[in-house]
Each structure stands twice: as structure tokens, then as C-alpha cells.
Amino acid sequence: MALKTGESKSFFCFYFFRNFINLIFPPGICRICGTKVNYGLPQICFSCLKKIQKVKEPFCNICGRAMAETAEIGVCGDCLKEPPSYEKHISLYLYEGAIREMVLAYKVLKRYPFYRIFGKSIAKNVKNKMGNIAFDLVAFIPTPFIRRIMRGFSPAELIAKKCGRELNLPVKNILKLKKRTKPQKNLGAKERKENLKGAFDCKEDLRGKNVLLIDDIFTTGTTIEEASRILKKCGAKVYAATFAIRKKREIDLPSIED
């Protein structure tokens, strides 16, 4: 069937636009279930996107992890046994399926524009769940120099900067890495603790300051805890926020994400 001039023009535009998009983000198969997808970013099909799970109540009021339905006091056994250095941590999604793929695409495949989604979502969650706290500044977990050079960016820093813009707060690089740490990815919970012990340093006077500490994911909680311990030593009250949280039963498994 011959197309009229107007139709052929718009068809050509659509065709050109689609090919242009495909050139930048080539289509392929869903990274989770293998279904064919017609778009390249984030290469996750709609049915997998629909399975994304938010962190739902009941969760621990301190560490933010999901708790059994029957828990009455609102604080999990781990936090009761060994209270963390931070006042409270909140996360938005369970670290699985499409959410995990997005974080991996961001960090491993270097799809750095994802920082906008992560930063904006975290900021919204902070407004909802910590809206009563007057924050003085936003801090973030630093990336070791070599890894930053190889990756080309610092994942938590980009997210924190977006978050700070959304919340109208200054973002400061106050945590310094003072020892060489191994990537946490192949370490179990106990080894992660050892690896990060004494890893951070902070020289700021943070007395009377409320600090919002940002990272992408919360796995064992070791990184957030160690960074909070140092910030607390400088006088700060630390509140932490991440994009996704790993389920407790999975935290001893090796992972490729950090």
C-alpha cells in the first residue's frame, strides 16, 4: 500500500527515531527472564518490572530490614542486641529482580545516568519517612580511587548529589578512605566487618549536626555502620538512606555488586 506524503513523512520520522534509539540502546532480551524486549534500557521486560517490590511494613525502625509480621516493638533482634551507630536507616526497594539488575547496570555496566532515578527516589523516601528531621548536610560512601578511575564515576557520590539537589541540602565529601579495602563482593558478613574496620576517616567537627548518609544498596549494613561510627565520633547524628536493601537471609551469600 502506497503511503500519502504526510504519512510517509511521519513513518520515516518514526522509523528514523526508533533506529536512532536502538543505536544508542540496542534492544535485546530481558536480563531477568530472557523475553525479547524492543528497547535497550534498562533491558528488563514489563512483566519483570511489575514484580518490583517496595520495602513494606513491618520493618525494623532502626535498620530498616523487613521483620516477621508478629514483631511488636518495631525493632529487630539484631538492633536490640547491638544497636547501630546510626539513628535510623531507610531503603526503598528489595534488592532483587529488576531492582538488582538496575543497580548492576549502574555500577557494573556503567549506565551512570541511572543516578537520577536512584537519587530522586531516595530523596522522595527521605521526605516521606524522615520529613521531621532537619538535616544539615548530605554525606556519601566514598569509592576507592582505583575503582573510581576504572569505573569513571563514584556511584554513591552521584546519587548523593542528585539527592542533595532534590532536598535542597549541601553535599559534602567528608568521609575519606584511609586504608585499602578489598571489594566486598566475595566476602561473607564477618569478613566484610574485618575488611572495613577503620576504613573511614573524618576530620570535620560535626557536633550538633544531622547528617544524611547515602549509599546505593544496604547488604549486610557493615559499610553504613562503619561510616556512621566515624561520623558519630565527630559528633553527628547519622540518618542513612539507600535505594535497595538485601533480604536478611541472603546477606551471607557472595555478591557481585559492591
- Return residues touching Zn ion (CB under 5 A): 30, 32-33, 35, 45, 48, 60, 62-63, 76, 79
Quickly count: other Cβ atoms within 10 Å of residue 150's Cβ: 10
Q: What is the closest distance, in whole angstroms, from the C-beta atom of residue 66 to Zn ion in the complex? A: 10
Closer of 62 and 139 to Zn ion (Cβ): 62
Closer of 90 and 126 to Zn ion (Cβ): 90
Closest C-alpha among 111, 165, 163, 168 to residue 140: 163
Q: Which residues pair with 93 in a beta bridge?
A: 54, 244
Q: What is the closest distance, in whole angstroms, from the C-beta atom of residue 106 to Zn ion in the complex? A: 18
Q: What is the closest distance, in whole angstroms, from the C-beta atom of residue 39 to Zn ion in the complex? A: 12
Q: Determine the distance from the C-alpha atom of residue 236 to the mean position of all C-alpha atoms in its chain, rounded to a whole number.
A: 22
Cα 49 from Cα 44, distance rounded (Å): 7
Closer of 76 and 196 to Zn ion (Cβ): 76
Closer of 166 and 225 to Zn ion (Cβ): 225
Q: What is the closest distance, in whole angstroms, from the C-beta atom of residue 83 to Zn ion in the complex? A: 9
Cα 82 from Cα 85, distance rounded (Å): 9
Identify the helix (H) or strand (E) that includes residue 230: helix 222-233
Closer of 62 and 102 to Zn ion (Cβ): 62
Closest C-alpha among 223, 177, 204 to residue 84: 223
Q: What is the closest distance, in whole angstroms, from the C-beta atom of residue 182 to Zn ion in the complex? A: 26
Cα 115 from Cα 141, distance rounded (Å): 14
